[in-house]
Amino acid sequence: MTPKSLTIAEIAASIGARAEGKTELRVIRAAEPHAAGPEDLALAMDPKYAGGLEKGQARAAVIWDGADHRTLGLEAAIYISRPRLAMAGIARAFDPGPEIAPGIHPMSVIDPTAEIGEGAAIGPFVTIGAGVKIGKGARIASHVSIAEYAQIGADALLLQGVRICHRVTIGERFIAHPGVVIGADGFSYVTPEKSGVEQIRDTLGERKDFREQTWSRIASLGGVEIGDDVEIGANACVDRGTVRATRIGSGSKLDNMVHVGHNVQVGRDCLLCGQVGIAGSSLIGDRTVLGGQCGVSDNISVGSDVIAGGASKIFTNVPAGRVILGSPAVKMDTQIEINKAVRRLPRFMAKMEAFQKSLSAGKTGEGSETA
């Protein structure tokens, strides 16, 4: 694919930034300052990257407010105040996206009752089942399967190997990275009499008896409902509900290898980072952030605007707006004090041992004098 060429003025306009110098200058890619060539746009958004510009050959760069592009040896510059926000727009401008030819590839199988929106691009080895509805402008890469009666909104992007199961409903501008599975059955089983797990829930650790019994599967009758502007990372899984639907709110983003269990309700604009696991029937409020490897126990509520640090294990309800950390998760400032105390334990124990030895020596000495 031929690299996309953009002028400095076009890039600045696309991100709402100010451009100065030779704004008609064209660039074909973004690059780190030290590695940028004459046709690259160097990303020097902080004064600490100024030295990199001297090592590279960039003629144009994205630089921080207050800098002077002329003194930095540049012919043109885009001035920004919030680097990560600018990065989002710049990356979008240069991103070519996947190469999926317009129309429907002849090696795909589409049920005649499926409705495919105008302008869709469907790659090879795609399977689309009966009654499926796909919105206009959808792009579907190779080896994707969409089961019967699923609905996907306009401008969706489904990358290689995505699996959309039956009766799943997804909003507009959905992005699913390779290997995503939406709508597999939930992990629900039951035994004829109370299992060991149920007994432990009641007694918090004590089991009355052990008996032979088998697990019976509870089928998942609910679906999955996903809002608009949701993005789901590679190999993430969202299970269907047992009776009601599992839901992901509009604007939420799920990282790679996230697992959302059956009946879970995730609010709007949440961030679920890599390897987060949310057990069945839990509720996650709006704008909540769960750091990598966070675990949420089943049937609990995590309020809106909660931030959970990486590897936190959440076993109880969390009120809105709280910042938590640790296992079990507690308020972050409390966990920091706990961590400090744990680090001090070896010194504390050494002092205690020395103190005990001194007491023992004192007692021995008293006994000798009395004798």
DSSP one-letter code for 4: P
Task: Please tell me the distance from the alpha carbon of residue 162 to that of residue 260, in angstroms, as a whole number.
Answer: 16
Which tokens hold the place of 223? Answer: 């679906």
Residue 85 parent element (H or E): helix 83-94
Cα-flanking dihedrals φ and ψ of residue 176, to 5°? -125, 120
Q: Given strand 301-302, what is the order of strands in its sheet?
A: 115-116, 133-134, 151-152, 169-170, 224-226, 246-248, 265-266, 283-284, 301-302
Rounded CA separation 229/249 (Å)? 9
Buried b (16+ CB within 10 A) or exposed e, 22-52: bbebebeebbebbebeebbbbbbbeeebbeb
Is residue 226 within 8 A of residue 248, CB to CB? The reply is yes
Cα separation of 130 and 326, whole Å? Answer: 47
Does 34 participate in catalysis according to the annotation? Answer: no
Whole-Å CA distances, 203 to 87, 160, 196, 207:
53, 47, 10, 8
Strand partners, 80: 64
Question: What value, to the nearest 5°, has the Cα angle with vertex 148 and ends 143 and 154?
Answer: 70
Task: Quote the tokens at residue 265.
Answer: 């309700």
Could you check whether the bond before residue 328 is cis, i.e. omega within 30 degrees of 0?
A: yes
Catalytic residues: 262
